[in-house]
Amino acid sequence: MSDNPTIAIDAMGGDYGPSETVRGAVLAARAGGVTVLLVGDEAEVQQALAAEDAAGLPIKVIPSEGVIVEGEHPARALRSKPKSSIAVSVGLVKQGMADGFISMGSTGASMAASVFLLGKFPGLERPTLGGPFNGLAPKTTIIDIGANVDCKPVQLLNFGALGASFQRSFMGFDNPRVGLLSVGSEEGKGNKLVQEAFELFKASGLNFVGNVEGNEIFTDKADVIVCDGFVGNVLLKYTEGMAEAAARYLAGALGADSPAVKAISGLALAEEHGAAPLFGVNGLALAGHGRAKAEGVAASVVLAKRFLEVDLVKHMREDLAAAQERAGVSGDDADEVEA
Amino acid sequence: MSDNPTIAIDAMGGDYGPSETVRGAVLAARAGGVTVLLVGDEAEVQQALAAEDAAGLPIKVIPSEGVIVEGEHPARALRSKPKSSIAVSVGLVKQGMADGFISMGSTGASMAASVFLLGKFPGLERPTLGGPFNGLAPKTTIIDIGANVDCKPVQLLNFGALGASFQRSFMGFDNPRVGLLSVGSEEGKGNKLVQEAFELFKASGLNFVGNVEGNEIFTDKADVIVCDGFVGNVLLKYTEGMAEAAARYLAGALGADSPAVKAISGLALAEEHGAAPLFGVNGLALAGHGRAKAEGVAASVVLAKRFLEVDLVKHMREDLAAAQERAGVSGDDADEVEA
């Protein structure tokens, strides 16, 4: 990849649209080492750009028509709005005109467009989402966090392999430990899904440490903790809600200016955090929080550059294939594993 | 029920055995209004009693043989140890010699013995466990928290009916709001289990408020939040682990003597908390934390008395039958609902 990559930004995405995405693009371009393609309604984006001090910066506007909003059915919306900002953004990656894209809009639409235009890794039913999301376990990746709610055992294996690849290529772990989230630590504990996945994990060549209980997320038992997207999404949102509730509780008990309130608030996911990569598509795709502001957009560009530097997508594809082969599930046969 | 109930305590249960359970029984008996039956190895229990100032207190020792420990297969262990402390304790309830029992030992064994000797409510596959467990949402019951890990939709309905009955009879809610834990608030969001259960809840006559997301546990959207026991157990343990990790984090950031550390630590479930009732068996059965100390045992006796005062078991059985009838699933047909 080039030292000066090109990143497409869905300028219409997120709760604030161009007013924040364009400012984020300007911040990123000003920081240097990147060319930004702003994809959106040309008039709106140009107007937002005109309000910034963007002269001479490597920013281009790519026109699109229409926006897919949160709550629309992703696949249907893509068909009815083929020139929407998200579709055009992904198309730029597909055509090699961008090295990656970022959207703060509908995650479902980013995922559907990426699968449709870029394709997914062999043996993967759907892409997955994961990462560290709890400030009290800041290096522990939990995967899946909502992309796949009804899973087969082989899907959990895929999450484990992709999560481990992420921890190794990006977070710097030599041999990341992978655990299955469960209700007991011994083999055989858990629901049917976990019990069946356990066998696949043992054969996968991953550094599998067995089951991890809910409290063990905080005791450094594993670097990657695998669960289905229903459980992961509940945990993600529970964590956000609990951090906010704890901050309110401490403010009530100790006063709003207490340093404890600030310390706890800083642990929750915040607006300035960057987007997360979709795991399992043939290209760099980052989906972020709708509440992201300009700083979050700029932080996402920095993340995208780092993902390109470590060749994240290539490593993930290779690591997934290797784990599937060792576990005896390969490529498109993956669906047939479940008895 | 009598104003002076008789409560059987499994003296051998819990991590500390008679040294704590007997002291807990003495504390409870001294507080008055209850007769305590201490079930266990006669010599051990008498020795522990002799170390206390128990003269004149309404405490009797009932001999038993053997203990079922955590990790044993509950049903098998009950067959091989029919005179174990837990089996004898439940037998006293069965024979009408005790109004309820408390065990800090294996929850699985308490459940199996209760089902075997007392029987479960009609239409219930297995008993369930639930209650408020997060100090930041202290009046919100989450159910099931680990008794049933692979559930059918009708089981979630049963959890909702039993949880609502608990909130009404014991926590004082007139018309408790019941929600389904899910990954989106609109109908249709969630995994298959939640989607199918949604229909049953709508027809159940419960005060059903729809789906509740993970963060909404802290926003007072529902008084009863229903999930399968895999999700509930992960959340329960995650909460305990997160409270401990937050206390450590604040101690590191602000010093161990910071009032914030004390405030956060107080939110986690602690050793002095009382046991929780098993929902769905024909008798009062309380299962507590193995780490419970004497204060926790004594608190459990107080809880047991209050459950008897409000006739919790009778209300639960009636409320479950009513919800099942309205949802069109009745008694032993409950299993056949799932298409």
| HEC string for A242-280 | HHHHHHHHHHHHHCCCCHHHHHHHCCCCCCCCCCEECEC
Q: Is the pLDDT of residue B272 over 80?
A: no
**pLDDT band of A330, cuts 50, 70, 90:** low
pLDDT for position B335: 45
Q: Is the pLDDT of residue B214 over 80?
A: yes
Contact map slice: B 170-199 vs A, CB within 8 A: 181-183, 190-192, 194
The model's pLDDT over A102-137, given as tens digits with 9 standing for 90+, comes to: 999 998 999 999 999 999 999 899 999 999 989 899
Q: Is the pLDDT of residue A339 over 90?
A: no
The model's pLDDT over B283-318, given as tens digits with 9 standing for 90+, comes to: 999 998 888 899 999 999 999 999 999 999 999 999
Nearest to B142 by CA among B217, B57, B40: B217
Nearest to B260 among A231, A239, A254 (CB): A254
Chain B residues within an 8 Å CB radius of A254:
259-260, 263
**Shortest Cα distance, chain B CAs vs residue A252, angstroms:** 11
B50's tokens: 């002799």
- Maximum Cα–Cα distance for chain B, whole Å? 62
Nearest to B260 among A150, A194, A250 (CB): A250
What is the average pLDDT across B57-61? 98
Nearest to B235 among A214, A258, A264 (CB): A214
Q: Which residue of A has its CA nearest to B211?
A: A234
Q: Does A153 touch chain B (CB under 8 A)?
A: no
Mean pLDDT of chain B: 92
Q: Is the pLDDT of residue A230 over 50?
A: yes
Q: Is the pLDDT of residue B267 over 80?
A: no
Q: Does B235 touch chain A (CB under 8 A)?
A: yes
Q: Are B310 and B172 in contact (CB under 8 A)?
A: no
A267's tokens: 């642990």
Chain A residues within an 8 Å CB radius of B241:
214-219
DSSP A269-335: --TTPPPEEPBTBSSEEEE--TT--HHHHHHHHHHHHHHHHTTHHHHHHHHHHHHHHHTT--GGGGG
pLDDT for position A272: 60
CA B71 vs CA A185, B106, B334: distances in Å: 11, 8, 30
Dist. CA B211–CA B178, nearest whole Å: 9
Q: What is the residue type of B218?
A: F
Q: Are B193 and B240 in contact (CB under 8 A)?
A: no
Dist. CA B153–CA A300, nearest whole Å: 41
**pLDDT band of B268, cuts 50, 70, 90:** low
**pLDDT band of B334, cuts 50, 70, 90:** very low
Q: What angle do CA A229, A234, A236 make, to 5 degrees?
A: 90
Q: Are B10 and B85 in contact (CB under 8 A)?
A: yes
What is the average pLDDT across A200-206? 95
Residue B336 or residue B135, greater confidence: B135
For an interface test with A, which of B215, B267, B269, B291 has the most A Cβ atoms less than 10 Å from its Cβ?
Answer: B215
The model's pLDDT over A130-161, given as tens digits with 9 standing for 90+, comes to: 999 898 999 999 999 999 999 999 999 999 99
Q: What is the b/e burial string over B184-213, where b = at least 16 CB atoms within 10 angstroms of the residue's CB?
A: beeeebbbebbbbbbebbeebebbbbbbbb
Give start and end residues of each alpha helix (H) in A124-191. 153-169
**Alpha-carbon dihedral A156, A158, A161, A164, rounded to 10 degrees:** -60
For an interface test with B, which of A139, A140, A220, A237 has the most B Cβ atoms less than 10 Å from its Cβ?
Answer: A237
Q: Are A104 and A21 in contact (CB under 8 A)?
A: yes
Contact map slice: B 249-308 vs A, CB within 8 A: 249-250, 253-254, 258-260, 263-264, 267
For an interface test with B, which of A145, A193, A230, A262 has the most B Cβ atoms less than 10 Å from its Cβ?
Answer: A230
**Shortest Cα distance, chain A CAs vs residue B315, angstroms:** 30
Mean pLDDT of chain A: 92
pLDDT for position A333: 46
pLDDT for position A261: 87
- Say which range, A11-20, B70-79, B168-177, has the weakest mean pLDDT: B70-79
pLDDT for position B139: 94
Give start and end residues of each alpha helix (H) in B127-228. 153-169, 192-203
What is the average pLDDT across A178-200? 95
Q: Does B211 touch chain A (CB under 8 A)?
A: no
What is the average pLDDT across A274-284? 93
pTM to 2 decimal places: 0.91
Q: Are B160 and B204 in contact (CB under 8 A)?
A: yes
**pLDDT band of A331, cuts 50, 70, 90:** low
Q: What angle do CA A105, A110, A116 make, to 5 degrees?
A: 155
Residue B336 or residue B299, greater confidence: B299
Question: How far, rounded to the nearest angstrom, does the alpha carbon of residue B155 sit from its chain's CA centroid?
Answer: 17
Residue A72 or residue B195, greater confidence: B195
**pLDDT band of B336, cuts 50, 70, 90:** very low
Q: Do residue A213 and residue B146 have CB atoms under 8 angstroms apart?
A: no
What is the average pLDDT across A192-217? 97
pLDDT for position B271: 54
Q: Which residue of B has its CA nearest to A233?
A: B183
**All domains of chain B, ordered by start, with CATH?**
6-122+270-310 (3.40.718.10), 134-266 (3.40.718.10)
Q: Which residue of B has its CA nearest to A252?
A: B263
pLDDT for position B2: 64
Give start and end residues of each alpha helix (H) in chain B. 18-31, 42-50, 74-80, 85-94, 107-117, 153-169, 192-203, 229-254, 259-265, 294-309, 312-326
Q: Is the pLDDT of residue B224 over 50?
A: yes
Percent of chain A with pLDDT over 70: 95
- Say which range, A255-269, B77-91, B218-232, has the weakest mean pLDDT: A255-269
pLDDT for position B226: 98
Q: Does A237 touch chain B (CB under 8 A)?
A: yes
